[in-house]
Structure 1
Amino acid sequence: MAKRPTTAKKSVSAANLAALGADRLADLLMEAGAADAALKRRLRMELAAEVGAADLAFEIDKRLAALGGSRARVSWRKRPALLNDLRSLLRITVDRLASLDARLALDRLVAWFDLYPGLVGRVSDAKGELPLLFDAATVELAAVASAAGPDVAGPVLVEALSTRLDPWASWVGRGSPGLDPTVARRVLAVLPQGVRPTGRLALVVRKLADRAGDLDAWIRSIPDEDARKPEVGAGIARRLALAGRADEGRAALEASRVEITPKARWGRSAADAGAPSDAWSAAEIAVLEAEGRWPEADEARWARFACTLSADDLRALIARLPDFEDVEALDRAFEMAAVHPDAMRGLAFLMTWPALREAAALVVARADEIRGGHEDLPLWVGRLVGRTPLAALILVRARARALLMLGPEVAGEVQALVSEAEAIWSTLGEDASATDHATFVAGLQSEARRRRVW
Structure 2
Amino acid sequence: MASKTTLNAKNLETLGVERLAALLIDISRGSAANKRLLRIELAGMQSGEEVAREVTKRLTSIDRSKSKVGWRRVKALKNDLDTQRRVIAETIAGSNADEALEVMWRFMGVARSVFSRCADANGTIMAIFRLACADLSVIAKAAERNPRRLADRVFSALQDNEYGQYDTLIEALAPSLGVKGLDHLRFLFLEWSKLAESNLPGADRATAGPSDARASYEDILNLRKRDRTIRTALEQIANAQGDVDAFIALQDAQAKSEPVVAAQIARKLVDAGRPDEALDAINKANHTVGHPDTFEWEVAYTEVLEALGRKEEAQEFRWHSFERTLSADHLRAFLKRLPDFDDMEAEEKALAYGYQYPDVHRALAFLLSWPSLDHAAKLVISRATEFDGDRYEFLTSAAEVLRENHPSASVIMLRALIDFVLDRARTARYKHAARHLAEAKRLGAEIGDRTFIDSHEDYVAKLRSSHQSKTKFWKNSIQEH
The TM-score range, normalised by the shorter chain, is: 0.5 to 0.7
Cα distance, 1:210 vs structure 2: 5.2
Structure 1 length normalisation: TM-score?
A: 0.63
AA aligned to 2:17 is: A
Name which one, 1 or 2, has greater alpha-carbon Rg.
1
Change (3 A) 1:401 1:115: closer
Task: Tell me how far apart the structure 2 counterparts of residues 335 and 442 of structure 1 sit (CA, whole Å).
Answer: 36
Q: Which moved more, 1:413-422 or 1:312-321?
A: 413-422
Match of 1:188 among 182, 186, 201: 182
Q: Which residue of 2 aligns with 1:402?
A: 417
AA aligned to 2:327 is: S
Structure 2 length normalisation: TM-score?
A: 0.60
Q: Is 1:414 aligned with 2:437?
A: yes
Q: Which residue of 1 aligns with 2:267?
A: 238
Q: Which residue of 1 aligns with 2:351?
A: 334
Match of 2:17 among 16, 19, 36: 19
Match of 1:427 among 450, 465, 470: 450
Partner of 1:167, secondary structure, is: coil
Q: Which residue of 2 aligns with 1:53?
A: none
Task: Tell me how far apart the structure 2 counterparts of residues 282 and 420 of structure 1 sit (CA, whole Å).
Answer: 42
Q: Which residue of 1 aligns with 2:303?
A: 286
AA aligned to 2:184 is: V
Cα distance, 1:138 vs structure 2: 3.4
Task: Tell me how far apart the structure 2 counterparts of residues 417 and 90 of structure 1 sit (CA, whole Å).
Answer: 49
Please say if residues 237 and 249 of structure 1, whose CA atoms lie closer than 8 Å, have aligned partners that are also in contact: yes
The 5 A counterparts of 1:152-163 are 152=145, 154-162=147-155
Change (3 A) 1:191 1:400: same
Q: Which runs of 5+ in 2 are unaligned?
A: 26-34, 69-79, 194-226, 422-428, 475-481
The 5 A counterparts of 1:242-257 are 244-257=273-286
AA aligned to 2:266 is: A
Partner of 1:255, secondary structure, is: coil
Q: Is 1:377 aligned with 2:396?
A: no
Task: Tell me how far apart the structure 2 counterparts of residues 87 and 345 of structure 1 sit (CA, whole Å).
Answer: 41
Task: Tell me how far apart the structure 2 counterparts of residues 338 and 154 of structure 1 sit (CA, whole Å).
Answer: 58
Please say if residues 97 and 105 of structure 1, whose CA atoms lie closer than 8 Å, have aligned partners that are also in contact: yes
Q: Which residue of 2 aligns with 1:143?
A: 138
Please say if residues 184 and 211 of structure 1, whose CA atoms lie closer than 8 Å, have aligned partners that are also in contact: no
Q: How many residues align?
A: 391
AA aligned to 2:338 is: L
Q: Is 1:173 aligned with 2:167?
A: yes
Q: Deviations over 1:268-325 (max 9, x none)?
A: xxx89x8972222222222222222112211211122123323332222122223443
Q: Which residue of 1 aligns with 2:71?
A: none
Cα distance, 1:402 vs structure 2: 1.5
Q: C-alpha root-mean-square deviation of aligned residues, in Å?
A: 5.5
Task: Tell me how far apart the structure 1 counterparts of residues 373 and 129 of structure 2 sit (CA, whole Å).
Answer: 51
Change (3 A) 1:245 1:194: farther
Q: Which residue of 2 aligns with 1:325?
A: 342
Task: Tell me how far apart the structure 1 counterparts of residues 283 and 445 of structure 2 sit (CA, whole Å).
Answer: 58
Q: Which moved more, 1:215-224 or 1:225-234?
A: 215-224
Q: Deviations over 1:328-365 (max 9, x none)?
A: 42243123202223213323433454545544443343
Task: Tell me how far apart the structure 1 counterparts of residues 468 and 177 of structure 2 sit (CA, whole Å).
Answer: 67
Task: Tell me how far apart the structure 2 counterparts of residues 426 and 88 of structure 1 sit (CA, whole Å).
Answer: 58
Change (3 A) 1:420 1:15: closer
Please say if residues 400 and 418 of structure 1, whose CA atoms lie closer than 8 Å, have aligned partners that are also in contact: no
Change (3 A) 1:157 1:317: same
Task: Tell me how far apart the structure 1 counterparts of residues 44 and 447 of structure 2 sit (CA, whole Å).
Answer: 74
Q: Which runs of 5+ in 1 are unaligned?
A: 1-6, 29-35, 50-55, 78-84, 261-270, 386-391
Q: Which moved more, 1:230-239 or 1:435-444?
A: 435-444
Q: Deviations over 1:229-267 (max 9, x none)?
A: 222222332343355432232122122234x8xxxxxxx
Please say if residues 173 and 203 of structure 1, whose CA atoms lie closer than 8 Å, have aligned partners that are also in contact: no
